[in-house]
A and B are shown apart, each in its own frame.
Chain A
Amino acid sequence: MLGVNMAWRNVWRNPRRSGVVISAVAVGVAGALLAMSVTYGMGLQMVETAISTDLGHIQIHASGYDANPELQVRMLDGGQRALSVVSDAPGVRAFARRVRGEGLVTSARASAGVKVIGVEPEREREVSIVADSITAGRYLDGTERRVLIGERLARRLQVDLGDKLVVSVTDLAGDLTGLGVRVGGLFHTPSSVVDGNVVFLLLADSRSLLGLGDAISEIVVIGEEATGVDALRDQLQERLSALEVTNWKQAEPLLDYLIGFFDQIGYYLYGAVFVAMLFGIANVLLMAIHERIREIGVLMAIGMSRGRLATAIVGESLIVTGVGLVIGYAVAIAVVLAFRDGIDLSRVSAGLEAFGVGQRIVPVLRTDDFLIPTLVATATAAAASAWPVYRATRLRPAEAVRHT
């Protein structure tokens, strides 16, 4: 206890010196935390965009779709069996049936390769943000031969609301066929891939275009909680053994990996910051000991143990780092709260939308983000005090008391 007491007093004996180290720790920690919160927020948004425009949490397909995602791999019963299971399953918030094909969309002036996605408008509204991303015209209202396309695709095709398009596909029988449609609505999502490469139409239209009869390609499911997707997948797969049930991580493993990858970059940053800090802390402790050689000699002469002395020095290092950490955390939390509506990055929106990030990044802090710097800072503080402790405990009292 005496050691800790001494450490605390030593910290405040030279507040300016301690203050400089505390500021360094605080700046480093706050900076690293903010960098991590921004990259994590960005990763989350990429995932969120993929889930809410395309993947959902869970996808149900006919067996073999994952290896070979083509038109033939379909649910012949129109997904009725799967629907009855999904609609009763606990933990399911929403679900929707879809038909997926690839095609070519042609306007009077241009053509573009697209995904042709047939949806059930009311159910789709619950699983996808496209309905809420309409910027002109109307969402699918049941009128036949009306399609939704992204603003980006509309620009490329040089079409506007009400203009005619032809969607050409190879149907189930392998024949080239087409369907004349009109643009019923335009949308703008955070993903330029969706905005430039997808045509949404009614499930019935897509079925007749692709010659699918009653069949559908997939059912997407949104769970009650984003964190429960693994369990939900297992549960659904068990009850739908003849079908292929995947979650978004399996559908897009890279996206899942990306968040871990961003974290890795964050750890390098912590590494760099704490190595830089190591020098600063060690320096301060050495100085503190250097100017107190005489005092240490006196303490040792009157019987203070080397263990206590070491405690005092390590303690001082830990206290200085700890105070810096707390201030750094506070600053980071304050900044993240200040930007809870997102950081406006519309200047580089084209680059960000290519990856589904959108124009604003909302920084997000996790509990783990605090755990790691705390551990690393503690280790750094301990490491920085090693040499000073060695120096101080090797002092010989008789010489030290005479030191000037």
Chain B
Amino acid sequence: MFLEFRLAWRNVWRNPRRSGLTIAATVFAVVLIVLSVGMAAGVHEKMIEDAVRLRSGHVLVAGEGYLDHRTLEQFVRFDAELEQRIRDTPGVRGYAPRVMSFALLSKGQTTSSVALFGIDPRLEGSVSTLSGRVNAGSFIEAGGHRQIVIGERLAAKLSARIGDSLLLYSVAYSLETAYELFSVAGVMRLSDATLDGGLAVISLTDAQEFFVYGDRVSEVAILTDDADRAEAVRSALTDALHGTSVEVSTWDELMPELVEVILVDDAGMYLMVVIVVIVVGFGILNTILMAVLERRREFGVVLALGLRPAAIFRVVYLESILLAQVGLALGLAISLPLLLYLQATPIPVADEMAGVMELFGAEPVLTFKLKPLNPIGSTLTVIALAVIAAFYPAVKASRGRPVDALRSV
């Protein structure tokens, strides 16, 4: 085995230029895979993180049927006991009760339909980043009365400024018409264009009064210590809340569209990676094949001297894998530090490209994320590539009859 390894190693360096080109192609493939996968992971994680921190939380406690209908009819009674049970569940970092509905918001003769969030200003910050998005005025204050915070685009549409009175109109839980004047406390900037142009936030107590909702809430959004623990927290909560008529769901059930968008995007990226890998694979196949064909005579000699065909097969294979390993090592040495650097310094995106990202509900920033599966997957891909690409040349090399091979030039 050692002999075969030495033979293979020397063969790699017998034609440094040829090997160099193959290694360069492998390095290119590795860098491309690691960075593409790293970017997709980063952007997707950011999309999920944004959506989770803006809306759903990791886990959601809501009334039965809320996921399908999302109306005032599906509710949870947010009393001291429920609050205590949620707070005592391990893995829960924060929780926020909310009333969610729709309303018309008017100023003067301009009206816009909005999604209305009623939030508890003391608890909301432990789950969502809504309060941090305010870029003019202030967020809903604890104890404040009839304050409303709206998205920037919505404010522009209504030409509403801080302190202006807006008329909120909707239908209450009692099915009576509800309308009330609210004063604009703040304007927030949300990257999701739909929300920015159609979200209004009021306090939970105002919302419960407005909708004649008592101590009911639509949902309790929960932030867990770690996104990966969402499932565990969900089952713990399901147990803790057993016997009450609530449904506990995780973020991926709450936002199936986001999950599918990510799926489509991933599919596109992997398609690209596969195409490049195949092209590089042909390159490696070619190099090994050439290396074998030009050594027919040499293989004939060693076969005649008694080396077994299986050994030749292994030498050729080792050569291919060594080439791939060198390329892989160099590729990882280049791409991993680069990826870590990009992970620490996200790239902001401007102009129309930013618009496209916002259209897809992402913030206009290219983020990168190194996940352990990325280098592992790249390594396996490149080794698999070398193994597949070397098969034909290796068979070809070991099959020759010594007599014929010796006569060839």
- Residues of chain A whose beta carbon lies under 8 Å from any beta carbon of chain B: 16-17, 20-21, 23-24, 27-28, 31-32, 35, 39, 70-72, 101-104, 106, 108-115, 155-158, 166, 168-170, 172-174, 176, 192, 253-254, 257-258, 261, 265, 269, 272-273, 275-277, 279-280, 282-284, 286-287, 290-291, 345, 348-352, 354-355
Contacts and interface: CB of A to CB of B under 8 A. Distances in A.
A283 B283 contact: yes
B113 A170 contact: no
Most B CB atoms within 10 A — which of A276, A287, A291, A352? A276
A273 B22 contact: no
A91 B262 CA distance: 41
B282 A279 contact: no
Nearest to A42: B264
Given A24-B282, A261-B353, A176 B110 contact: no
A284 B282 CA distance: 11
10 contacts: A109-B71, A111-B71, A112-B102, A170-B104, A261-B352, A272-B272, A279-B283, A280-B25, A280-B279, A286-B21
A84 B106 CA distance: 35
Contacts of B256: 350-351
A169 B130 CA distance: 28
A20 B283 CA distance: 8
Nearest to B351: A257
Contacts of B263: 348, 351
Interface stretch (B51-59, B286-294, B328-336): B286-294
A102 B25 CA distance: 57
B111 A111 contact: no
Interface residues of B, number: 69
Contacts of A20: 282, 285-286, 289
B198 A113 contact: yes
Interface string B39-77: 000000000000000000000000000001111110000
A178 B17 CA distance: 80
A69 to B, nearest CB: 8
B257 A351 contact: yes
B20 to A, nearest CB: 9
A170 B271 contact: no
B395 interface: no
B235 interface: no
Nearest to B104: A104
Most B CB atoms within 10 A — which of A104, A349, A355? A104
| A-B pairs with lowest CB-CB distance, top 5 | A351-B260, A113-B113, A110-B71, A24-B282, A31-B275
B179 interface: yes
Contacts of B138: none
B25 A279 contact: yes
Interface of B: 15, 17-18, 21-22, 24-25, 28-29, 32, 68-73, 101-104, 106, 108-115, 169-171, 175, 177, 179, 198, 256-264, 268, 271-272, 274-276, 278-280, 282-283, 285-287, 289-290, 293-294, 352-353, 355-356, 359-360
Nearest to B259: A351
A20 B112 CA distance: 62
A35 B271 CA distance: 8
Contact of A110 (B73, B104, B112, B271): B73
B169 A176 contact: yes
Contacts of B109: 70-72, 170, 172-174
A276 B279 contact: yes
A155 B68 contact: yes
A276 B283 contact: yes
B296 to A, nearest CB: 12
Contacts of B169: 104, 168, 170, 176
Most B CB atoms within 10 A — which of A72, A261, A287, A352? A287
A8 to B, nearest CB: 20
A254 B25 contact: no
B71 A156 contact: yes
A104 B108 contact: no
Contacts of A170: 104, 106, 109, 111, 169
A28 B274 CA distance: 10
Contacts of B104: 102-104, 113, 168-170, 176
Contacts of A32: 275
A103 B282 contact: no
A286 B68 CA distance: 64
A252 B257 CA distance: 22
B170 A104 contact: yes
Given A71-B110, A102-B111, A104-B103, 5 more contacts: A27-B282, A111-B170, A114-B113, A276-B283, A351-B259
A39 B268 contact: yes
A362 to B, nearest CB: 16
Contacts of A23: 282
A337 to B, nearest CB: 19
